A and B are shown apart, each in its own frame.
Chain A
């Protein structure tokens, strides 16, 4: 264990042979997809696009761009919703050609399997591949015996991080420490990353396995060919609640955690090793309540139960259920579930581990909890066949989809209108207070809204649906109010989506200006010429 890491120098490849597109006009006209991500933030532009095939090409591009003082925006699947992949000038480093699986490995010490991949492979592709059980020895670049491959192929494995958007790239999800519903059971991306390779601003590579480089006295030393960078870890205290806002910082932290969730401001991830685990069959369930208090009591009981911990606990408020009920009346196939009764005010969706042997015990335990919360096993939906659990998954995703459709419709009249979606978390004991605060503030303001999401992690999404520009202005003010309250309740201003280019002000609410300066100092140490992902997490210059 050490706090000193040596960067590896790579040989240059001929720069002119790297695939690229030149010219702002050409890019705007012919390659507009690279100027936008799921945040739909407008104004993206770039003078250059590179499509490297491998790490060496990435390194060559970075060196060249640094020499020419051209900023680089790293781009892969562009599924982020805070604008991290949107360039505002300079070059776009598109990793889409680096999307291969390089091999499987078995860690003897940890007794766990892992997979080695390139950065632009999607989560779906990773899972399809490891579930296919078709690993063969020839495809490996990790030394492996035939018997090990056979042993691997005998079981079904998966990469359990599920941020809903399975077309997201692994590099992007590491850069944002992506999470999702199943984070409740499996934790965020961070906990599944075993090793990464990162190209730094010098063009050199850091190879960082977890568990090898730990901070000493709050410092890391990164040795490059020419210099030594002294990285001072920020001293702010991160919230205990689920958090994706700002840099990870702890006095005795692992170096790998500084890069995970750093939104690409320190370098380009060119390779990753991820833990994978045996696939566990699950049951999907939805319980119904005629009031929110009972539902929240049930959430509390369910998440503190010692012997039937769910994969996730998701929440739908009455407004969200009303959206679904309305669509069910017009287009039942879209929701594809039986009619939701009118007297139901709150629904709680949860997946649990399923075998025929454990089912009785689980359901009887949950049945007791439901009874104590004035609901029952009769008042629920349940499924375990794959085609049926797929329906439940679709149902969970239907609310945001319907919200987006409504907003798209309203945009026709007011082009500036957009959804206001929060992703704040709070500490366990403040959940009920925060929910009360959301509802009362929004009702008082007379805004149209729905609340749904990852209540198991005290992390729900408030979606405000502005009807006009006044609503939008009012909603934006409330967003800030919510952020302050979440911080007061020990939470994060962004538990999931990250800060990107559009949530800077909330990060200030959470940590204060001093903390931002400390983050900026780390950035200036590792990337002194500010070439990587300018404007992600904080503005380059103090505002």
Chain B
């Protein structure tokens, strides 16, 4: 069985500052790490392999990024991935979420065409858009389940316990499918010295757009329908109005009056 884990290298969050003048992230001197949610996805993949020894699970980590993103893939290999592929090309530069998912779709289809399940983080801690997994699933034409906290394999289906606002929901989908992970153990795993040594002997290959026959028109800045204007902290919410009262009827009446007074209701 073939599992693909899509990962991203991100700047270590608590060390990033926002430039107050330009509104962009100051990444200089900040160490890059494997996106924590992607690490949860990899942990889940490793757990599935341990829990299902008869399925002969092979884990492939794939990332799109600059050459130094190899370090994030190396960590994946240390933590249990069997092989890793980096999609790296100047032609990918400036890709937005759509163009990124286009590249990932091509990468996955060409490098692991017979994949059964894709696991990935629910979002990356630098951009926080949570768009790439969903768009990749759409482009691949496979079902997706987001915000997973636990994954089980059941015959040809994947069963996912996922977070919803009110608690948990269990969904299942026919494989091949894509699942995004939102939570893992709060104690990160630590590889052994042997695992670190072995990781450096596992395949870690880099591919350009040409290598994969990716159409230049589909990736990079020119293929990106969206553009980031500015990154800023959202303004903090002001107090608002809370209506207190033990009698629901009374409270509803007050709320109605308030909405009417402030022009929120057209009567």
Contact = CB atoms under 8 A, between A and B. Distances in A.
Most chain B CB atoms below 10 A, which of A359, A366, A382: A382
Interface string B18-54: 0000000000000101000000000000000000000
Interface in A332-387: 332-333, 336-338, 356, 359-360, 363-364, 366-367, 376-387
Nearest to A132: B29
B187 A333 contact: yes
Contacts of B186: 332-333
B32 to A, nearest CB: 9
Nearest to A288: B192
Contacts of A378: 192, 194-195
Contact of B187 (A337, A363, A376, A381): A337
A106 B1 CA distance: 61
Given A377-B197, A385-B33, A387-B31, A332 B192 contact: no
A338 B191 CA distance: 10
B36 to A, nearest CB: 10
Contact of A367 (B12, B33, B193): B193
Contacts of B152: none
B142 interface: no
Contact of A338 (B33, B187, B193, B195): B187
B190 interface: yes
A178 B192 CA distance: 33
Contacts of B200: 356, 359-360
Nearest to B14: A387
A377 B195 CA distance: 8
Given A363-B197, A377-B197, A383 B190 contact: yes
Interface in B163-192: 186-192
A473 interface: no
Given A332-B186, A338-B187, A387-B12, A379 B33 contact: no
B197 A360 contact: yes
Contact of A363 (B31, B188, B193): B193
A337 B190 contact: yes
Contacts of B223: none
B239 to A, nearest CB: 33
Given A377-B197, A387-B31, A387-B33, A382 B187 contact: no
A285 interface: yes
A278 interface: no
A272 to B, nearest CB: 28
B189 A338 contact: yes
Contact of B192 (A356, A379, A386, A391): A379
Interface in A316-338: 332-333, 336-338
Most chain A CB atoms below 10 A, which of B188, B189, B190: B190
A219 to B, nearest CB: 52
A385 B15 CA distance: 14
Interface residues of A, number: 28
A388 interface: yes
Contacts of A380: 192-194
A164 to B, nearest CB: 22
B197 A359 contact: yes
Contacts of B12: 387
Interface string B189-209: 111111111001000000000
A386 B187 contact: no
B218 interface: no
A382 B199 CA distance: 13
B17 to A, nearest CB: 14
B75 A382 contact: no
A333 B188 CA distance: 10
B58 to A, nearest CB: 21
A95 B186 CA distance: 43
Contacts of B191: 381-383
A285 B193 contact: yes
Contacts of B75: 385
B193 A366 contact: yes
A121 B190 CA distance: 36
Nearest to A366: B193
Nearest to B189: A338
B190 A363 contact: no
A287 B196 CA distance: 14
B190 A381 contact: yes
A391 B191 CA distance: 13
A367 B193 CA distance: 9
A489 to B, nearest CB: 32
A378 B186 CA distance: 23
B198 to A, nearest CB: 9
Contacts of B33: 385, 387
B193 A332 contact: no
Contacts of A356: 200
B3 to A, nearest CB: 22
Q: Which 8 A-B pairs have the closest CB atoms?
A: A377-B194, A377-B193, A381-B190, A382-B193, A378-B194, A380-B193, A363-B197, A380-B192
27 contacts: A285-B193, A332-B186, A333-B186, A333-B187, A337-B187, A338-B190, A356-B200, A359-B197, A360-B197, A363-B193, A363-B194, A367-B197, A377-B192, A377-B194, A380-B194, A381-B190, A381-B191, A381-B193, A382-B192, A383-B190, A384-B196, A385-B33, A385-B75, A386-B31, A388-B190, A391-B188, A391-B190
Given A387-B31, A388-B188, 17 more contacts: A285-B193, A336-B187, A337-B187, A360-B197, A360-B200, A363-B194, A364-B197, A377-B197, A378-B195, A381-B190, A381-B193, A382-B190, A382-B192, A382-B193, A383-B190, A385-B31, A391-B190
